[in-house]
């Protein structure tokens, strides 16, 4: 495994399977009454969140604590530029305190990659702008693997605001690496630039028509659509979006009972996902959250404690 986890591209399929194996063990720990493992005792993990986050930050924090690492959260809203300090200075200041790993969330694409060039500590990308969110992709793939047995040959449909989604970018890389067939669905205004060339070379499919693919899905992943996108002219109204791209009650009825429904959260119930779909028996949304802790424990363990059994 590489030193940092900046992008899904840093991982091989073998790495991912190794991470899943460890995550399964960590998942068992989650069910114990006493959840602490000594693996990272004496190690310091700083969660540097330059952008708001509740679930990812608390997930990393719990993961670190259950592995006995000293975890500290540093949050700073807005870009470092607006504070007059360069990102490099901000990060070097924290790194100089003597940390073993920095978990970085930043509103700017590529920020984690830049940070990794400036410091010696391990850098884990907890979401950089509209670029990547690799631990989210790992927890999604882990959840789906547990539900479906394997991802090999399974058809995963990803729907929503692809342009602005780091979850989509990491997921399409991770799922295709694990052998899934991926179709991404969005209105043309929310398709990323150059997606035709990208999908051709990366081996995934695109469509503007959700109804054309929903019957053939082995799993569906709904992405959050921010209401602000309407003022940007990406689509006219929420109700029009829902009719075209929402997981409505009607579309839910067309999904088999074994087709898992994923959503990275936070959800806009009624916009991209109907309440009935979010709460359906096949919904995997809460499993994703618990898998998130296990996956992040696994990532911290492998990047900080090195290879070997727990």
Closer CB to another protein, residue 100 or residue 132? 132
241 CA to centre of own chain: 23
Does residue 193 touch another protein according to CB under 8 A? yes
∠ CA 123-304-64, nearest 5°, is: 85
133 secondary structure, DSSP code:
-
Our measurement of the distance from residue 269's CA atom to the centroid of its chain's CA atoms, rounded to an integer in Å, reads 20
Q: Cβ of residue 166: shortest distance to another protein, in angstroms?
A: 6
CA-CA distance, 295 to 289, in Å (whole number)? Answer: 10
Nearer to another protein (CB atom), residue 143 or residue 206: 206
Q: Tell whether residue 188 is a contact of another protein (CB under 8 A).
A: no
How many residues are listed for the chain in this entry?
310
Q: Which of 30, 58, 113, 290 binds another protein (CB under 8 A)?
A: 113
Which H or E element spans position 260? none
CB of 10 to another protein, least distance (A): 14
Q: What share of the chain is helix, strand, coil (3-state, %, to 5)?
A: 45, 15, 40
DSSP 26-44: HHHHHTSSS----TTTT-E
Query: Nearer Cβ to another protein, position 46 or 167?
Result: 167
- How far apart are CB 49 and another protein at their closest, in Å? 14
Applying CB under 8 A, among 73, 155, 187, 198 the residue interacting with another protein is: 198
**56 to 85: interface string for another protein, x by CB under 8 A:** -----------------------xxx----
169 binds another protein (CB under 8 A): yes
Binding residues for another protein, rule CB under 8 A, total 29
Asked if residue 87 binds another protein (CB under 8 A), the reply is yes
Applying CB under 8 A, does 155 fall inside the site for another protein?
no
The Cα–Cα gap between 307 and 22 comes to 11
Q: What is the CA radius of gyration of the chain?
A: 19
- Contact call for residue 224 and another protein (CB under 8 A): no
CB of 300 to another protein, least distance (A): 24
76 phi and psi angles, rounded to 5 deg: -150, 115
Residues 6+ apart with CB under 8 A from 155: 180, 181, 182, 183, 213, 216, 217, 218, 219
Interface ranges with another protein (CB under 8 A): 79-81, 86-89, 106-111, 113-114, 128-132, 163, 166, 169, 192-195, 197-198
């Amino acid at each position: 495994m590489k030193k940092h986890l900046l992008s899904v591209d840093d991982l091989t399929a073998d790495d991912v399977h190794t991470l899943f194996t460890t995550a399964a063990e960590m998942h068992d720990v989650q069910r114990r009454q006493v959840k602490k493992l000594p693996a990272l005792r004496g190690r310091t993990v700083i969660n540097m969140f330059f952008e708001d986050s509740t679930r990812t930050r608390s997930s990393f924090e719990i993961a670190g604590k259950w592995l006995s690492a000293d975890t500290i959260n540093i949050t700073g809203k807005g870009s470092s530029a607006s504070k007059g300090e360069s990102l490099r200075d901000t990060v070097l200041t924290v790194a100089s305190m003597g940390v073993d790993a920095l978990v970085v969330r930043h509103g700017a694409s590529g920020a984690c990659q830049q940070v990794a060039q400036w410091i010696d500590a391990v850098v884990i990308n907890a979401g950089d702008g509209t670029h990547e969110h690799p631990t989210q992709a790992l927890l999604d793939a882990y959840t789906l693997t547990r539900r479906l047995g394997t991802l090999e040959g399974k058809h995963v449909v990803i729907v929503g605001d692809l342009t602005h989604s780091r979850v989509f970018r990491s997921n399409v890389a991770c799922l295709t690496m694990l052998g899934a067939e991926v179709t991404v669905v969005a209105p043309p205004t929310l398709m990323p630039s150059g997606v035709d060339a990208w999908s051709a070379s990366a081996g995934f499919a695109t469509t503007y028509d959700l109804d054309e693919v929903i019957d053939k899905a082995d799993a569906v992943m709904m992405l959050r659509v921010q209401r602000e996108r309407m003022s940007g002219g990406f689509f006219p109204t929420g109700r029009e979006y829902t009719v075209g791209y929402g997981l409505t009650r009607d579309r839910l009825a067309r999904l088999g009972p074994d087709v898992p429904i994923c959503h990275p959260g936070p959800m806009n119930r009624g916009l991209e996902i109907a309440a009935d779909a979010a709460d359906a028996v096949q919904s995997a949304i809460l499993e994703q959250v618990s898998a998130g802790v296990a996956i992040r424990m696994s990532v911290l363990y492998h990047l900080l404690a090195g290879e070997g059994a727990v």
